[in-house]
Amino acid sequence: MTFYADADQFYTCTQTLFARIEEQEPGAADAILASRLVIRIRCTEPDAELTINGRQRPVHTTFGPSGLRPTLDIELPADTLHRVMLGEISLKKALANGRLKVLGPVWRATDLADLFHRGQELYHEVLHEQGLLANP
């Protein structure tokens, strides 16, 4: 059984997470702005898509399909993203075992580091608030 019941639940959690990051640490996306990246994260099980547009200030995130052409395209099952965000598996391990696929200049993914780490710090809290995790 997958962690997220459907795409709506996934989008609710990720929208809350991104809003919380922006509220608590507005500079977390500065590296994405500086690099002018457009990052698309496509998940399966459930099918969902996030696009982070670093070509405009402030960074704009689209929750659902977007017509923007990504600089960096990331594909993975939503459960893999969930486990990475919880710290249960590393990005390196997910990439090595084929659960995570990156199309585009992989080295530019480092521009996501601050945003990603801040997201990991807040992910438990968001899941708890959404009633999806017993302990924050």
Residues 27-73 have pLDDT tens digits of 888 888 888 999 999 999 999 999 999 998 888 999 999 999 999 99
Taking the model in full, what pTM does it have? 0.91
Domain ranges, ordered by start, for the chain? 7-129
Q: Which CATH class is domain 7-129?
A: alpha beta
Q: Tell me: the pLDDT tens digits for 62-81?
A: 999 999 999 999 999 999 99
CA distance linking residue 65 with residue 40, whole number of Å: 9
H, E, C per residue of the chain: CCCCCCHHHHHHHHHHHHHHHHHHCHHHHHHHHHHCCEEEEEEECCCEEEEEECCCCCCEEEECCCCCCCCEEEEEEHHHHHHHHHCCCCHHHHHHCCCCEEECCHHHHHHHHHHHHHHHHHHHHHHHHCCCCCCC
